Amino acid sequence: MDGGSAHGADLALTPSAAARMNRLAAALLLVTPLLAFAHAEQADLILVHGQVLTVDAHDSVAQAIAVRGDVILKVGSDAEVQALAAPNAQIIDLEGRTATPGLIDTHAHIADGGVDELYGVKLSDARSVAEIVARVKAAVSMTRAGDWITGAGWDEGKLAERRYPAAADFDAVAPNNPVWLMHTTGHYGVANSAAMKLAGITAATRDPPAGTIDRDRQGHPTGVFKEDAAMTLITRLIPATTPEQMRAGILHIQEVLHSEGMTAVKDPDIFQIQWDAYRSLLDAGQLKVRICVLWDAGITMASAQHALDEINSVPRLPATLGRGRLLSCGVKLFMDGSGGARTGWMWQPWMRDGRAVDLTQDGAPNTGYPHIDPETYREMVLLFQKSGVPVGTHAVGDRAMDWVVDTYALAEQQFPHPGLRHAIIHANLPTPHALDTLSILQAKYDAGYPEMQAEFLWWIGNIYALHYGPERDRRLIPLNTLKRRGILWSGGSDYSVTPLAARYGLWASVARQTSAGREPFGSAESVDRQTALRSYTAWGARQMFLEDQIGTLEAGKRADIAVWDRNFYTIPTAQIKDMKCLMTLLDGQVAYRSASFHEPIHAAGAPRRSKATRGAPPIRG
């Protein structure tokens, strides 16, 4: 009894002690959530001592970035970011190097281009017809008789002979193998005699609608076929790409993208095989880039309906797969052809050599032609508009572009659906009418966005300058005019028409030079570097419907980051195209690291060598 009383006395609390315990419990209840919140706000990765080009609304330049998981926590000074580092955080010392948002290409055929690079004859660096023939001969030596030889990338503007390759060039080296070599633009190619014989092409074969078979003075086909309607006469016989080849091509190009600081791409003009390849790589955890696709909608109402059925069979916007890794973003239509092939639909004739008017084979001035019957095109767009599907339309010629913007305006007036962000792909030569209409479409309907390729001025600028002619050259790809009028656009390569690296497009947006170093396009339509970078980041993100997630380096955005060996804003213009990507992060994970980026990744708290100076600027707005 006594012992029990003594034990009970030990547990008893005086009124003052009980009050203190209650206050302590209440304090703990208040502090615990704050501690948990503070822990949640700690960064597990920080990048410090850099020059961070944020591309935010103020074009701020910062020193450091804090990341937790796949999201940016903070962009600011070294001190601000280091204060957020968790005890075990990784620290990447940029040592004064430059970080940008991951670059975005809003028009690159990466799946098909990857297949071409892995399995075809590469011709983009060929400098003579003889060199092309030699490469075909080498491919024949490793191929069975009767099997196809395919390749891509030749450009007559870079060839010593300044002419198209012809069937006769290849017949001696490939008498028993059909050959098809696509031009770098993808709008024309050359077949050898074996391929034409297999396809039944003779002098009596008529040009298909919206296609051209080049002929010599006697009317015999030379081997050059222009636009899909004509090229399909040959290409329909080439064995189809396998799913395994398609996946391999994508993985190959994904590595190239990472090495160039690129984290997102719009792949236009796809079919089911490309979608299935992307989806299977995503499901296998191998898709390490953001992909937004446009489905090929063909040239008829039946093909348009088929494309709509395909879109309705997969998640539709705003839904994404893999948390923003794979998106079905709409359809692709072709209003006209190419500036390289002189098949774009123009108001005034194409030029042949920069001076003389180009003539068709029947002697009429060549103004190109529509790829789709214009009224059918309009009905197709109305179908997609009513269904809430974004449309991207290829338009190279000024007449084609006028038809496209007028069609978009009509569609929005009849079936208003703001936010579809219909695009004009290439938009090389907008007329004053097109510019006025774009301004209205963007302001009223969030539609009518040019998806442009400044790289055309560089990579195929030699032939562009001759085909458009001196007066139109100065108005070609008028980025500065768009900027002055407040018209947004996004940048792209049209790979494999031009090389994939976005740094070339950044440079071309500023320099406007051909690959030969000439400046036939002038500098009046050049833009400043901040604008150029914005077209490959923030404005590109809008055209992928991901502007809330990527495109700028700001708190709350996904940690898609590229690290460079020099500062794009300050280096001489000529150096822009030579920038080297040192590291690429996607969702906060290192996707690429250059062997030349020797700075180790430290854990927070680990001993690190000191540096007297790191060259990083203070944050500024």
pLDDT tens for 249-276 read 999 999 999 999 999 999 999 999 999 9
The residues, ordered by sequence, that sit 6+ positions from 546 with a Cβ below 8 Å of its Cβ are 264, 290, 292, 324, 327
Lowest mean pLDDT across 16-20, 90-94, 492-496, 611-615: 611-615
Model confidence at 3: pLDDT above 80: no
Domain boundaries, the chain: 2-39, 43-101+562-603, 110-235, 260-558
Give per-residue pLDDT as tens, 573-591: 999 999 999 999 999 999 9
Interatomic CA distance for residues 613 and 593, integer angstroms:
24
Q: What is the mean pLDDT of residues 386-404?
A: 98
Interatomic CA distance for residues 140 and 253, integer angstroms:
26
Would you state the pLDDT for residue 305?
A: 98
Long-range contacts of 518-524 (CB under 8 A, 24+ apart): 518/461, 518/462, 518/465, 520/461, 520/465, 520/470, 520/473, 521/457, 521/461, 521/465, 521/473, 521/474, 521/476, 521/477, 522/473, 522/474, 524/474, 524/480
- CATH superfamily, region 43-101+562-603: Urease, subunit C, domain 1 (2.30.40.10)
Give per-residue pLDDT as tens, 416-434: 999 999 999 999 999 999 9
The residues, ordered by sequence, that sit 6+ positions from 220 with a Cβ below 8 Å of its Cβ are 203
Phi-psi sector, 162: left (phi>0), alpha (psi -120 to 50), beta: left
Would you state the pLDDT for residue 22?
A: 52
List the structure tokens of 76: 């600011």
Model confidence at 63: pLDDT above 60: yes
Q: Using an 8 Å Cβ cutoff, are 386 and 378 in contact?
A: no
- Under the banding of pLDDT at 50, 70 and 90, the label for residue 30 is very low
Cα 476 vs. chain centroid, distance in angstroms? 20
The Cα-based distances of 217 to 166, 197, 214, 365 in angstroms read 14, 20, 10, 18
Model confidence at 613: pLDDT above 60: no
What's at 244, amino acid-wise?
E
CATH number of 110-235: 3.10.310.70
Closest CA to 585 of 605, 564, 565: 564
Query: 581: how many CB neighbours lie within 10 A of its CB?
Result: 24
- Measured in residues, the chain has a length of 621
The Cα-based distances of 170 to 76, 128, 529 in angstroms read 60, 13, 45
More reliable by pLDDT, 614 or 231 = 231
Q: Name the pTM for this structure.
A: 0.89
Query: In the chain, pLDDT over 90 holds for what percent of residues?
Result: 88
Question: What is the architecture of the domain spanning 260-558?
Answer: Alpha-Beta Barrel (3.20)
Give per-residue pLDDT as tens, 319-355: 999 999 999 999 999 999 999 999 999 999 999 888 8
Q: What is the mean pLDDT of the chain?
A: 91
The Cα-based distances of 125 to 128, 163, 464, 515 in angstroms read 9, 16, 18, 12
Interatomic CA distance for residues 161 and 305, integer angstroms:
45
What does residue 52 show for φ and ψ, rounded to 5 degrees?
-95, 110
Give per-residue pLDDT as tens, 515-569: 999 999 999 999 999 999 999 999 999 999 999 999 999 999 999 999 999 999 9
The residues, ordered by sequence, that sit 6+ positions from 482 with a Cβ below 8 Å of its Cβ are 435, 450, 488, 489
Interatomic CA distance for residues 145 and 557, integer angstroms:
55
